[in-house]
Structure 1
Amino acid sequence: MISWQEAKAILNSLTTTYGTEKISVRESWGRTLAEDITVPRNYPDVHKSAVDGYAFKHGRKTYRLTGEVAAGAKSGPSVKEDETIFVMTGGTVPFGADTVARVEDCEDQDGVITIPGTIPAGDSVNLAGEEAKKGDAVIKKGVVIDKGLYPALFYLGKAEIEVYKKPRVAAFVTGDEILEVEEKFAEGMVFDTNRRILESCLNSVGITPDFFGPIGDTEAEVANAFKEMCKDHDIIISSGGVSMGKYDFVKKVFKEHDFELFIERTRIKPGSPLMVAKRDNKLFLGMPGYPAAFLTNFVFYAVPLFRKALGVTDFENKIHKAILKTEMKARKGRMDIDRATATVENGRYHAADPGSQLTSHFINFASVNALVLIDEDSNSLPAGSEADMILIP
């Protein structure tokens, strides 16, 4: 049994990206940028007006109106010192002009424009290259293309972009007791919950896994499942069969079928069973079977791993500080990861115990949106104290 810090270091050393590909920017939402973005030209490329108004050479009070420039139109002839041209917002400021006055601030008397003397030189002109100059590196690779970056790529005219390929992910759940939700319940059986946890967590990072099973509780079935999934997948996740029970065959299969086993258990609660193995560049994650332990383990260990596999530079879970509204139970000697209901009050996170921390309970996850991290040097934390917290994606 190793510390969670050791487990994280091992997972980071084993996780890689899976190449890159060029795609249309229109299909890039949620992908990870695999190239640094440089500016292809000055932004703006010419001096542009920030308002609808009159472009002129600063220094006079009155000017003769000699024309107009719409957005996207060429500026036309330059203006003389006693002339002005009406320029629409985003239009090119004509050569010879250095200032634009808002139309509502000016007076037009039969083509003679009076400019207020309070307008400073250079006002309302966006200078060529003031946002960025040609060749400037403005976006670094390793960021997820989302609500900010996605339109910025269009703004920069990037029709195609380089992104990291997604790993091919397979998953299966072991256990003869697993039922699909459409099946009739029978005493001692459980409905397949962990597949839905996988779907929701992986979808949050942009991965759609292929599912196999449920796989029966026999060594042959577990070994065959691994063999089949190795053919076309890069990362394989199993749920169940990693503890110490009579029918927990994942560890045995790892050891008897040429897998290199890196992790067996870690000092966290819940979710201590975590098996990590590799064979032929295929990465295997063996997760616990209890849904509460599975979700906790998956968010804490696997979600950052998948972000890194997708090429995300800032892949680790973000740690937030939260004020505890209730006591959070823990025990020295292990990392306790307590489920919590997090709220924002007066600009700060607050976290409350949802009512049970038992690994065998899962219903209260319906209201849980965060996990409170209590390090192995601490006992239970009282209400009112500050704690580290991660949000469930």
Structure 2
Amino acid sequence: MLQIEEALKIIRNQQVQVKTETRELSDCLGFSLFNEISAPFDMPAFDNSAMDGYALCGISKEYKIIGEIAAGDESQFRLSEGEAVRIFTGAKVPENTSAVMMQEKTKVSGNKLFIEQPLKHGQSIRKKGEELKKGEIVFQKGYTITPAGIGMIGSLGIDKVEVFKKPIIHLITTGNELVKPGTLKKGGQIFESNSYALDSACEDFGFSCKEKKQIQDDFKAIKNGIKDSLNTADILILSGGISVGDYDFVKQALEENGVQEHFYKVFQKPGKPLYFGRKENKFVFALPGNPASSLSCFYIYVLPLLYKLSGSVKKGLDRLNLPIAKDYDNKSDRPSFLKANIQNGFVEILDGQGSSMIKSMALGNALVFMDATISVKKGEGVDCYLIS
């Protein structure tokens, strides 16, 4: 049975084949850049006004207004001492502009402008190249594009971007006891929820599950379902059927489909019966069937490989070391990922830590890693994985 860090190292060391595609800028959210992006020009490209007001030449209290410049106009003015022009936010300031004064701090009488507040040279002028110089690197290769990133790239005049393709994900849940929500549930059956949780977890981190299948505990059906998914998926996630019960057929079905096992079982709680394997350039995770175990294993083990397959510089969940809100005894004989909630700079371990209990995870926003049989006092730092 592997230790947690050994299992993570195996996943981190996987050699992967990534693919690229060129996408419209508006369709790049959440994708990672294949090439770095450099500024093709200074930004701003010219000195411009930071507000609606007046562009002034010289530092004085009174000016002569000689014209007006709107945003987008090509300035034809060259100011002389004591002259001013009406100007609007983003408009190119004329030559010899000393400062811009906001309109609320001025008075106008005819063509005379009076300044009601002391001026500072250069105030309210966005200088050419103030944000970026031509040739300056804006984003590195592997940057995951955010809404602000799309805005930044668009402001550089770029409408198409080469990005890493995201992996094709398939999801298979197994179990005779499982029925879909919204259908009639008989005695001994439970509503299937793992596919919904895992699919949503993929979406939450910018990925999408292309196909979801629910298969009964039938060896042939599971074997064929795995075979079909391995034909098209880059990464296959299974939930359930990976333990040692009489109806747990997943491990054998993977073996007969030529999947090479890299590890099976990790010394942790929850999620001990975790499987990771590979067939050529296809990767397989078989997660435990208990809801909290399944999600915890996704966050800690699956997500880092999804990032790697998508060319991202991200390595997994963001981590913080935060003080614990109250004393806590981890009585488990295994290192544990505990459902927790971070609030006001402290982290609280929640009730309901059973591997089948998902309510506490739904109410929390973090997993706290804690060694086996350890006691932590209020205020001591603990490692937190941010799940939302």
What residue number does 2:366 align with? 370
| AA of the residue aligned to 2:366 | A
| AA of the residue aligned to 2:188 | G
Q: Residue 325 of structure 2 contacts residue 346 of structure 2 at CA under 8 Å; is this kept in 1? A: no
| AA of the residue aligned to 2:367 | L
For residues 247-306 of structure 1, give each alpha carbon's deviation from its aligned partner in whole angstroms, at most 9, with x where no partner exists.
222222333443221111111101011111111211111111111211221122112322
| AA of the residue aligned to 2:296 | T
1:392 lines up with 2:362 in the alignment: no
Q: Distance in 1 between matches of 2:295 and 2:76?
A: 64
Cα deviation for residue 62 of structure 1 reads 4.4
SS at match of 2:228: helix
Q: Residue 326 of structure 1 contacts residue 353 of structure 1 at CA under 8 Å; is this kept in 2? A: no
Q: Residue 179 of structure 1 contacts residue 191 of structure 1 at CA under 8 Å; is this kept in 2? A: yes
1:381 lines up with 2:376 in the alignment: yes
What residue number does 2:9 align with? 9
Q: Distance in 1 between matches of 2:368 and 2:121?
A: 56
Q: Distance in 1 between matches of 2:178 and 2:105?
A: 74
What residue number does 1:178 align with? 178
Q: Residue 17 of structure 1 contacts residue 310 of structure 1 at CA under 8 Å; is this kept in 2? A: no
Q: Percent identity?
A: 29
SS at match of 1:10: helix
Evaluate the alpha carbon distance shift between residue 119 and residue 286 of structure 1 in structure 2; reply closer, same or farther with a 3 A threshold: same
What residue number does 2:259 align with? 259
Q: Distance in 2 between matches of 1:154 and 1:83?
A: 36
Cα deviation for residue 343 of structure 1 reads 4.1
What residue number does 2:288 align with? 288
| Count of paired positions | 388
Counterpart of 2:354 (choices 333, 353, 358) is 358
| AA of the residue aligned to 2:260 | E
Cα deviation for residue 154 of structure 1 reads 2.8
Q: Residue 263 of structure 1 contacts residue 275 of structure 1 at CA under 8 Å; is this kept in 2? A: yes
Evaluate the alpha carbon distance shift between residue 130 and residue 175 of structure 1 in structure 2; reply closer, same or farther with a 3 A threshold: same
What residue number does 2:319 align with? 319
Evaluate the alpha carbon distance shift between residue 210 and residue 89 of structure 1 in structure 2; reply closer, same or farther with a 3 A threshold: closer
Q: Distance in 1 between matches of 2:198 and 2:234?
A: 16
Q: Distance in 1 between matches of 2:348 and 2:226?
A: 40
Once structures 1 and 2 are overlaid, which stretch shifts more, 329-338 or 23-32?
329-338
Q: Distance in 1 between matches of 2:19 and 2:339?
A: 36
What residue number does 1:336 align with? 336
Q: Distance in 1 between matches of 2:127 and 2:208?
A: 46
For residues 207-244 of structure 1, give each alpha carbon's deviation from its aligned partner in whole angstroms, at most 9, with x where no partner exists.
22134542232332222111111111111111112112
Once structures 1 and 2 are overlaid, which stretch shifts more, 297-306 or 50-59?
50-59
Q: Residue 273 of structure 1 contacts residue 287 of structure 1 at CA under 8 Å; is this kept in 2? A: yes
For residues 240-255 of structure 1, what are the structure 2 equivalents within 5 Å? Answer: 240-255=240-255
For residues 195-274 of structure 1, what are the structure 2 equivalents within 5 Å? Answer: 195-274=195-274
Once structures 1 and 2 are overlaid, which stretch shifts more, 357-366 or 307-316?
357-366
SS at match of 1:148: helix
What residue number does 1:118 align with? 118
What residue number does 2:76 align with? 76
1:51 lines up with 2:51 in the alignment: yes
Once structures 1 and 2 are overlaid, which stretch shifts more, 87-96 or 208-217?
208-217
Q: Distance in 2 between matches of 1:84 and 1:357?
A: 69
1:66 lines up with 2:66 in the alignment: yes
Q: Distance in 2 between matches of 1:212 and 1:54?
A: 61
Q: Distance in 1 between matches of 2:54 and 2:43?
A: 22
Q: Distance in 1 between matches of 2:220 and 2:374?
A: 43
What residue number does 2:128 align with? 128
Q: Residue 321 of structure 1 contacts residue 349 of structure 1 at CA under 8 Å; is this kept in 2? A: no
Q: Distance in 1 between matches of 2:322 and 2:63?
A: 62
For residues 132-183 of structure 1, give each alpha carbon's deviation from its aligned partner in whole angstroms, at most 9, with x where no partner exists.
1122111223233234323223333322222221111111112222222233
TM-score (norm 1): 0.89
Cα deviation for residue 314 of structure 1 reads 2.1
Evaluate the alpha carbon distance shift between residue 106 and residue 3 of structure 1 in structure 2; reply closer, same or farther with a 3 A threshold: same
What residue number does 1:23 align with? 23
Q: Distance in 1 between matches of 2:59 and 2:329?
A: 73
SS at match of 1:269: coil
| AA of the residue aligned to 2:238 | S
Q: Residue 268 of structure 1 contacts residue 334 of structure 1 at CA under 8 Å; is this kept in 2? A: yes
- Stretches of structure 1 that go unaligned for 5 or more consecutive residues are none
Provide the alpha-carbon RMSD of the alignment.
2.5
SS at match of 2:186: coil
Q: Distance in 2 between matches of 1:181 and 1:156?
A: 48
Q: Distance in 2 between matches of 1:367 and 1:105?
A: 50
Q: Residue 350 of structure 2 contacts residue 360 of structure 2 at CA under 8 Å; is this kept in 1? A: no
Cα deviation for residue 59 of structure 1 reads 5.4
Q: Distance in 2 between matches of 1:320 and 1:248?
A: 37
